[in-house]
């Protein structure tokens, strides 16, 4: 029997791709495509729209709606911080697994996710792509190998419509470096620089956010010292890389014991 899947934020850029690729895979029973009640694609005047039509793949007999139906096995949420609480509550009430890729969550929401993981299996990831999670794993190791003489800067680039800055992935990269090198997070982070006295301070990690056009996502981690520079880079060419990762995570999470898992668990990397 196919796992019953709810996609939250189904009319968003990521939600449409997750829906399309879930249908294409044939490995899920999509029981709901959820959006906020005032979303224009719900089509209140003409009746609910088919989620497949919204995603430009043709009718799939699943209406875009604001209602979470009971009985799902897993929910994938790439929506907004304001919607995440409702998804977490739904999964707790229905003992459903949760794959949460929404970025920009506050400290209280992260604590709520942590508490939820004691009762249900949860994957909360700032980036679901396979390549990016390999980079997450590498940056701390590289920083430790290079040592304190190397300055570290992170440059992230995204499309003009991205609301939060810096990206959740940039913060994860910085956090992993801090853990590996004994730096304080987030106190070691400097967000851009300006002014007449903006010299780099030893031990700081600079993060710089670029928003332009339709850039899907690019992250560069620069390690520089006097005489040389090493750059680790990841570029996402389409949202499909994140969507496929989220679906892979959802399938892996089915049947797991309650707990806070990560994409490194899904991929079997350290």
CA–CA separation, 23 and 39 (whole Å): 22
- Give CA 163 to chain center in angstroms: 14
What are the catalytic residues?
Answer: 158, 162
- Give CA 221 to chain center in angstroms: 18
CA distances from 269 to 74, 124, 264 (A): 23, 16, 5
DSSP letters, the chain, are -PPEEEEETTTSHHHHHHHHHHHHHT--EEEEEE--TT-GGG-TTT-PPBHHHHTTS---S-BEES---TT-SEEEE-S-HHHHHHHHHHHHHHT-EEEE------HHHHHHHHHHTTTSEEEE-S---HHHHHHHHHHHHHHHHH-TTSEEEEEEEE-TT--SSS-HHHHHHHHHHHHHHT--TTTTEEE---SS--PPPTT-EEEEEEE-TT--EEEEEEEEETTEEEEEEEEESSTHHHHHHHHHHHHHHTTPPSEEE-HHHHHT--
**Residues facing 235 on adjacent strands:** 218
């Amino acid at each position: 029997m196919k796992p019953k899947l709810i996609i939250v934020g189904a009319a968003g850029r990521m939600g449409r791709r997750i829906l399309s690729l879930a249908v294409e895979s044939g490995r899920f029973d999509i029981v709901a495509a959820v959006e906020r009640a005032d979303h224009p694609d719900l089509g209140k005047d003409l009746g609910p729209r088919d989620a497949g039509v919204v995603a430009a793949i043709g009718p799939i007999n699943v209406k875009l709606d604001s209602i979470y139906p009971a009985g799902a096995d897993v929910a994938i949420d790439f929506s907004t911080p304001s919607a995440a609480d409702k998804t977490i509550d739904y999964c707790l009430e229905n003992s459903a697994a949760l794959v949460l890729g929404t970025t920009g969550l506050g400290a209280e929401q992260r604590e709520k996710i942590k508490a939820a993981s004691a009762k249900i299996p949860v994957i909360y990831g700032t980036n679901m792509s396979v390549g990016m999670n390999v980079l997450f794993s590498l940056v701390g190791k590289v920083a430790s190998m290079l040592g304190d003489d190397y300055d570290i800067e992170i440059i992230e680039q995204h499309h003009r419509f991205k609301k939060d800055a810096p990206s959740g992935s940039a913060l994860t990269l910085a956090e992993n470096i801090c853990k590996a090198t004994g730096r304080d997070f987030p106190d070691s982070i400097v967000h851009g620089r300006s002014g007449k006295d903006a010299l780099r301070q030893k031990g700081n990690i600079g993060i710089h956010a670029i928003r332009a056009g339709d850039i899907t996502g690019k992250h560069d981690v620069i390690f520089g010292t006097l005489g040389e520079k090493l750059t680790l880079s990841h570029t996402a060419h389409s949202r499909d890389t994140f969507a496929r990762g989220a679906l892979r995570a959802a399938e892996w999470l089915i049947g797991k014991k309650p707990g806070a898992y990560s994409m490194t668990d899904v991929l079997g990397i350290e």
